[in-house]
Amino acid sequence: KTPDEFLFSDVMAQVEHDKNAKAFVFCSSKNKIEKLQKVLSPQARKQVVCHVSAIDKAIEKINEIAPEHLELLIKNYKPYLNKIFNAGAIFLGYQTPTSSGDYWAGPSHVLPTNANAKFASGLSVMTFLKRSSIVCMNAKDSKAYKDISNFAQSEGLLWHKKSADIRIK
């Protein structure tokens, strides 16, 4: 199979969820985008938004959109992984369809939708664990107490400031 066939089938898999589903295709090849548009059904064409751009520009858009699913259908995806901050699940390379997350790898049905990947992660066992923060300071933390005092003063919280000030040596 060809990369174009992978792209087409993966786009169709995403838009078949419902009539409001969107698939964004970022591609630097106008030829590939034209080919894709020709083979998509009229309904799917309305759902697919194509952008022709360089990979770095595409990554900017990806971080802005914060997709639930992201496929990197490029041969050398490793240099780009550390630039992607907002995606629910990332599927790497031509051999990894998003449907693997739906039926095999497991993450897809618990991912943040509607751009929520900007501030939320997928559901995990950590979601169900109760955690407590533990903070311990001592008399040697004068610099920290001064910082706390300054922050409290800037917010106008005088008792917060006093609470820190009485601990400064």
**Dihedral of the CA atoms 135, 139, 143, 145 (nearest 10)?**
60
* Catalytic annotation, pick one of 68, 71, 109, 160: 68
User: Which backbone phi and psi does 90 adopt, to 5 degrees?
Assistant: -115, 125
Say if residue 39 is exposed, middle or buried (CB neighbours under 10 Å; 0-12, 13-18, 19+).
middle
Whether 69 sits among the annotated catalytic residues: the reply is yes
Neighbours of 25 (CB within 10 A): 20
Whether 160 sits among the annotated catalytic residues: the reply is no
* Residue 153: its H or E element: helix 142-155
* Catalytic annotation, pick one of 69, 71, 109, 160: 69
Say if residue 36 is exposed, middle or buried (CB neighbours under 10 Å; 0-12, 13-18, 19+).
buried
**129 is written with which tokens?**
């664990």
- Alpha-carbon distance values, 61 to 51, 56, 116, 140, 154 (Å): 9, 9, 15, 47, 37
Residue tagged 């022709």 (tokens): 52
Task: Cite the active site residues.
Answer: 68-69
